[in-house]
Structure 1
């Protein structure tokens, strides 16, 4: 019997193969981000800003061992024009619309590779994730509260990423807004 490709698996099959797993913060995550960012800067033209986002960018909290990368490009570029270039860097397109394209790297038919990345390609200024990250980086108590929330949701939604993400939504919105107030203008376009 011929083995399916990742792109042919149903959502349920993908969630079984790639469950949510949380682990204590690993110092190597910052290095993995830096190495991947350098590769992307070399190969992907038009990067306005590239940033390490998500829980792996917040020291001291448990996280899914997946490096989230936000790549912002100038508004005059077209996201779709960079899609094949990013795919040539080993990424698989997972979702796309007019304002964002999401890619994964490190997903195999045997499960996760050692290094796993989620790349979020968007236009400059579409960067709320930076304010959330910065707020948690500067507020250890709130970062620990976020960690507790994630640990509480982990096993219940281990095979349902959509619900896991949904259940964190209000918390993320609340502290993104606080971050935007605290760091107003930090990431304004040049």
Structure 2
């Protein structure tokens, strides 16, 4: 019997869960909506300000990892640890914690990915650069295509190193998020 995920090194996890990109799939929106309904059932109405589909699966027409990213924005007055605990009690696994951010996942097993994979990004309301980036790319197809090509270039190089893959996209994401914030300053 193999190791549990919690017993694996980062390198073992990267080998088990390599980066892979697939053509855009309209089912991602349905997968998002399914998780959105589930999150609303788990979390009481007073502790959620907004649930949003983010990440590359939320950008029209581009290749992406087959992982649906969902941002849950909660009011500043809400205890993020309690919200995370509720999500963990309902099958999500906490992956990381940093200042005012908690990431939870679903869809990983010791045998690899399962059918539906989700990354849940728990944030306080207003910590939402991803919404600006998503909207900008959806409204600027040439920038979305440039992002897609960058991701494809990085894919094989960093297939087994998620940190390097993410880091290599950071300048692009920061640049276009800043542009989006200027263009959409009052959107969110």
TM-score calculated relative to the size of structure 1 = 0.96
Alpha-carbon RMSD: 0.9
> Offset at 1:97?
2.3
| 1:110 matched residue in structure 2 | 111
Does the alignment pair 1:134 with 2:135? yes
In the other structure, the counterpart of 1:43 is: 42
Asked whether the 8 Å contact 1:40–1:89 carries over to 2, the reply is: no
Note the C-alpha offset of 1:168. 0.2
The separation in 1 between residues aligned to 2:183 and 2:84, in whole angstroms, is 34
Q: Secondary structure of 1:137's match?
A: helix
Aligned to 1:118, what secondary structure does the other structure show?
A: strand
2:105 counterpart SS class: strand
Gaps of 5+ in 1: none
Q: Which residue of structure 2 aligns with residue 23 of structure 1?
A: 22
TM-superposed deviation, 1:3: 3.4
| Number of residues of Structure 1 aligned to a counterpart in Structure 2 | 186
**Residue in 2 that maps onto 1:9:** 8
Cα distance, 1:59 vs. partner?
Answer: 1.2
Unaligned runs of 5+ in 2: none
**In structure 1, distance between residues paired with 2:115 and 2:75:** 32
Residue 185 of structure 1, CA deviation: 1.1
**Rounded Cα–Cα distance in structure 1 between residues aligned with 2:62 and 2:90:** 29
- Cα distance in 2, alignment partners of residues 59 and 155 from structure 1: 23
Contact 1:55 1:62 survives alignment (8 Å)? yes
Partner of 2:31: 32
Corresponding residue of 1:148: 149
Normalized per residue, the structure richer in helix is 2
Q: Which runs of 4+ in 1 moved over 6 A?
A: none
Cα deviation for residue 114 of structure 1 reads: 0.8
How far apart are residue 75 of structure 1 and its match? Answer: 0.1
In structure 1, the partner of 2:86 is 85
Once the two structures are TM-superposed, the CA of residue 4 in structure 1 deviates from its matched residue by 2.2
CA distance in 1, matches of 2:82, 2:89: 13
Distance in 1 of aligned mates of 2:90 and 2:166: 27
Look up the match of 2:182: 181
| 1:154-183 deviation digits (Å, cap 9, x = unpaired) | 000000000000000000000001111111
Moved more, 3-12 or 138-147: 3-12
